[in-house]
Structure 1
Amino acid sequence: MKQTTLTNSNYWASVNQQLFLQNLERNIEQPVFLYAGRNTNFCAFAVVGYVMSRQDPLGYVQFMISLYKNGKAEYAGVMYKPSEAIRRQVGLVLYEGELDRNDADQMLFFTLADHFKGYINLFHLRYKEGRELGLWAATNLSKFNDMLRATMKAEIQCVGYDLIRLKLKNPVQFMQEKIETGDVFLYLNNRILRRKNHGKVKKHIPTHFVLLKKLTEENGIVTMTYWDAGFTTQRQIELTTFKRLLYGVSWSVRNRK
């Protein structure tokens, strides 16, 4: 049943009801356009939102509407209750492209960032205005896997590290095999794949998560098709460059109980 109207929320003062519903409808019809913002550290949360809206559209919408109405909501047995500081901020994000007008995406990203924490967030646990651009919203590999396990109806497996490049004898064959079992997620140093203002200190560490859709290699050239926080992209790079970018691979195994 399509939700066409909502009353004002007592919890999200700055969320526009119409924009919220339009955002949800677009995410169900075209989840590929779910956008993380230009300079935020929301890329990992965008991947999770993309998977939720694609694999479980009804559950995703029910979760989001419950979150809007009640200020808290349960998904897959996990209760999410974002802080008052989060609820004040959602709907007010500016200068981040499509994220400015997508109130549902803002609500999901801030809620996930408030709930899931890794060692990288230890000194930035509480939200303050602007922290979506810094370490408060940053995601390391184990935290990303925790989010996948909490939201996906599948077993999640992983190889990789936060600070050491992943060394696989044949990474293309390895990932092709994983794509056959389910979804494959890459943890990358994104200096080549996407320009983003992460600052000098992050130039030589991984900062980005993408959903891999297809990967082939011929004569030392890798062709990869991947979803990256609002865009599906095909890119050709040298195999040696691909290996330098790669820090982690997470994948789902469908229909495991």
Structure 2
Amino acid sequence: MGIPTRLLFCCLLCWNLFAATAQTSSGLRLNKKQQALALLNQTTLTASTFWQNVNPELFLANLKRNAEQPVFLYAGRNTNFCGYAAVGYILLEQDPLGYVQFMLNLYKHGEATYASVRYKPTAAVRKTAGTILYEGELDRNDADQVFFFTLADHYKGYLNLLHLNYKRDRELGLWAATNLSKFNRMLRAMMQTEIRCIGYDLVRVKQKHLVDSLQKKLLHGDVFLYLNNSILRKKNHNKVKKHIPTHYVVLKSISEENGVITLTYWDAGFTTLRQIDQKALNSLLFGISWSVRNR
């Protein structure tokens, strides 16, 4: 067998192994989704003594919708829940059964464990979940409220130091804010995989061949972008926030042609396609976090 033939054989073998691994991973996710839906279909809930304002029927319906269509996980219009939504979206994509089991235990017992981490939300948080108003679809999504409030109550970063305890409407402010290192801690805990990151809370990412780099990261796992949200979509941010990162999205694809960069990303309830130039991308990007599952 000549050298060219051996090279071709090796390339074909590597491709077949990669395809088989991808197919197996996809099959496992589908199986977990089916198991999650089967569990929900055989579950009935009564009013919870821990989550007094959470409607059990709405809670179950929300869980089922999330398991079926993670893309619709919605963080609300003006809350600071976007980081928790990004974590929840990936959790639903990769482990819907684990998510459903975690949420059912949280509802029934007021606390639950996921990936060896124990979550025990405080009474103030448990009293508030189910009462959110004027945040669009989040108003009706009781399970999402429980999930977001639980993560915000559990994980703390330096932005939360002056607002450690929950008071009414603090989901709109620093109590729920998520700096980059806190976001990465959540990813590592919930995804149970290696998470790498470049970037800072107040310094924009400076990297040559940024589009090529992001494309390569997408080949190995999930990619999260930490952005100045005022450039992507309007929100009730004050003048200070317009100059700092405020938002997390899940990158799905990125390409560049004739100086125009095309991004597809999941953004707290929506999948969006956006075209921008290199200057705009450099202006809005403060952090990149990515998993390295498929090496």
Q: Could you tell me whether the CA contact under 8 Å between 1:154 and 1:255 is conserved in 2?
A: no
State yes or no: 1:78 paired with 2:106.
no
Partner of 1:2: 39
Shift of 1:153: 2.9
Whose RCO is larger (CA < 8 A, sep 6+)? 1
Of the structure 1 ranges 76-85 and 198-207, higher mean CA displacement relative to structure 2 is found in 198-207
Q: Could you tell me whether the CA contact under 8 Å between 2:221 and 2:294 is conserved in 1?
A: no
Instruction: Please state which structure has a larger fraction of its residues in helix.
Output: 2
Task: Normalising by structure 1, report the TM-score.
Answer: 0.98
Partner of 2:167: 128
Q: CA RMSD in A?
A: 0.9
| Partner residue of 1:232 out of 271, 277, 284 | 271
CA distance, structure 1, for counterparts of residue 228 and residue 71 of structure 2 = 22
Partner of 1:96: 135
Q: Where does 1:1-257 land on structure 2 (aligned, <5 Å)?
A: 1-3=38-40, 4-254=43-293
Paired residue secondary structure (2:165): coil
Structure 2: any 5+ residue segments left out of the alignment? 1-37
CA distance, structure 2, for counterparts of residue 198 and residue 88 of structure 1 = 27
Shift of 1:255: 5.7
- Aligned letter for 1:206? P
Q: Could you tell me whether the CA contact under 8 Å between 1:223 and 1:237 is conserved in 2?
A: yes
Shift of 1:191: 1.3
What do the CA deviations read for 1:18-43 (whole angstroms, capped 9, x no partner)?
A: 00000000000000000000000000
CA distance, structure 1, for counterparts of residue 113 and residue 125 of structure 2 = 17
Task: Normalising by structure 2, report the TM-score.
Answer: 0.85
What do the CA deviations read for 1:46-74 (whole angstroms, capped 9, x no partner)?
A: 00111111100100000000000000000
Paired residue secondary structure (1:254): coil
Counting matched residue pairs gives 256
CA distance, structure 2, for counterparts of residue 10 and residue 255 of structure 1 = 43
- Aligned letter for 1:80? Y
- Aligned letter for 1:127? Y
What do the CA deviations read for 1:156-210 (whole angstroms, capped 9, x no partner)?
A: 0000000011101111011000000000000000112111112122110000000
Flag the structure with larger Rg.
Answer: 2
CA distance, structure 2, for counterparts of residue 120 and residue 220 of structure 1 = 36
Shift of 1:240: 1.0
Q: Could you tell me whether the CA contact under 8 Å between 1:156 and 1:253 is conserved in 2?
A: yes
- Aligned letter for 1:120? L
Q: Could you tell me whether the CA contact under 8 Å between 1:159 and 1:248 is conserved in 2?
A: yes
Paired residue secondary structure (2:230): coil
- Aligned letter for 2:78? N
The 3 A distance-change label for structure 1 pair 76 and 127 is same
What do the CA deviations read for 1:3-29 (whole angstroms, capped 9, x no partner)?
A: 341022110000000000000000000
Moved over 3 A (4+): none
CA distance, structure 2, for counterparts of residue 34 and residue 122 of structure 1 = 28
